[in-house]
Amino acid sequence: MSKDLMNLGDLGADKLAQVLELAAWMKKNRGKEQKALAGKSIGLIFLKSSTRTRVSFEVGVNELGGSPLYLDSHGLQLGRGESYEDTARVLSRYLHGIVIRGHAHDQIAAFGKECSVPVINALTDRFHPCQLLADLQTVIEKFGHLKGLRVSFLGDTACNMGNSWILASQLCGFELRLGGPKGYQPDFSQLPSWVDTSKIIVTDDPVAAVKDCHVVNTDTWVSMGFEAEAADRLKALGPFQLNAELLAHADKSAIVMHCLPAYRGKEVTAEVLDGPRSVIWDEAENRLHAQKALMATLFK
């Protein structure tokens, strides 16, 4: 296992399974878990705004007995041009672990390499491993297992969530279908070399993407940084809206997931997002438990 978590592959299949088991235990025994971070200071560096990621990590550090230190671009010399590498070298001498949410993946990876303490990628433009931990925990809660399930991800499948679902499918043994139009499909060159691209199902047919799937999920079509492209994105991705008509093609037991924030009437309808198949609030809650398990594993 790697010192850092830049993507799920850094855990590997066995350690990933152990983290998910620990996350389930921590959820069931919240308040009774060992204070794995007692006496430790954990830096939370946020170069992009956040709701779930910031709050879940800050609460998680506190519940594990540690001291969270929140830092944003305005509170660091990174905002004035200091290099990621120099910042990493300094912060490593103060902190016991670092969580960083940023932009360019290569910059965050370079930051991690220069740190002498473990670093968790809390989101980059290429991967979102912490969200996938919560998503996988949620799927296990609903189905009892991951292996053999059929999972669909709709919309802009070239995003960090699409890439992260690809890694998860190969580590956990479930079928993944990525449904999106040409121009919004995954760039295999961004994936680690161990990924078997022949096992990745990519389609521009929304019905084929969800047919008989057990898990159907999507993400916002206009993420931070893409506001100027909003009109073009909404037009191109429109046929992949997760609505009742499309969901009817999924398995009868299918659950609906969305990593939030959601925009009702765009990538998903209110009827589906707020409907009986939606597990998004469990999914959001599980960010806390999955990340606590991850920190207890990496920052011990």
Active site residue 105: no
Task: Write out the H or E segment, with its range, that includes residue 67.
Answer: strand 67-72
Which of these is catalytic: 233, 259, 289, 291? 259
Q: Which of 131, 137, 170, 241 is catalytic?
A: 131
For each of the domains in the chain, give its residue range(s) and CATH number, in order of start: 8-128+284-298 (3.40.50.1370), 131-280 (3.40.50.1370)
Q: Return the pLDDT at 75.
A: 81
Among 101, 214, 233, 258, the active-site one is 101
Instruction: Encode pLDDT of 189-204 as tens digits.
Output: 999 999 999 999 999 9
Instruction: Find, among 243, 194, 199, the residue nearest to 218 by Cα.
Output: 243
Q: For 89-135, how does the pLDDT look when each residue is reduced to its tens digit (9 = 90+)?
A: 999 999 999 999 999 999 999 999 999 999 999 999 999 999 999 99
For residues 120 and 98, is the Cβ–Cβ distance under 8 A? yes
Q: What's the mean pLDDT in 212-233?
A: 86
% residues pLDDT > 70 (the chain): 99
Residues 6+ apart with CB under 8 A from 124: 102, 103, 104, 105, 108, 160
| pLDDT tens digits, one per residue of 148-173 | 999 999 999 999 999 999 999 999 99
159 is catalytic: no
Choose the catalytic residue: 219, 233, 241, 258: 219
185 catalytically annotated = no
pLDDT at 185: 97
What percentage of the chain reaches a pLDDT higher than 90?
91
pLDDT of res. 109? 96
Active site residue 131: yes
The pTM of the full predicted model, rounded to 2 decimals, is 0.96
278 pLDDT band, cuts 50/70/90, is very high
Tokens found for residue 218: 């999507």
Q: Check residue 291 and give its pLDDT.
A: 98
| 30-34, 88-92, 95-99, 245-249: least confident range | 30-34
What residues have CB less than 8 Å from 222, skipping those under 6 apart?
229, 230, 233, 234, 263, 266
Going by pLDDT thresholds of 50, 70 and 90, the confidence category of residue 227 is confident
175-179 sheet: strands from edge to edge: 201-203, 175-179, 150-154, 215-218, 255-258
Which residues, in sequence order, are bridge partners of residue 43? Answer: 69, 98
- As a whole number of angstroms, the distance between CA 278 and CA 192 comes to 31
Token reading at 277? 């198949």
Q: Which of 128, 150, 177, 258 is catalytic?
A: 128
SS3 of the chain: helix, strand, coil, percent, to 5: 45, 15, 40
Query: Known catalytic residue: 277?
Result: no
Calculate the average pLDDT of the chain. 96
Residue 246 pLDDT > 80, yes or no? yes
Using the predicted structure, report yes or no on whether residue 274 has a pLDDT greater than 80: yes
Nearest one of 69, 127, 137, 132 to 97, comparing CA atoms = 69
Phi-psi region of 123 (alpha: psi -120 to 50; beta: other; left: phi over 0): left
Q: Where are the alpha helices (DSSP H) in the chain?
A: 12-28, 52-63, 84-91, 105-114, 129-143, 160-172, 206-210, 230-237, 244-247, 270-273, 280-298
Active site residue 259: yes
Q: Does the pLDDT value for residue 226 go beyond 70? A: no
The reported pLDDT for the residue numbered 224 is: 63
Given the residues 150, 177, 233, 287, select the one marked as catalytic. Answer: 287
Q: In this predicted model, what pLDDT tens digit does every residue of 35-69 receive, in sequence order? A: 999 999 999 999 988 999 999 999 999 999 999 99
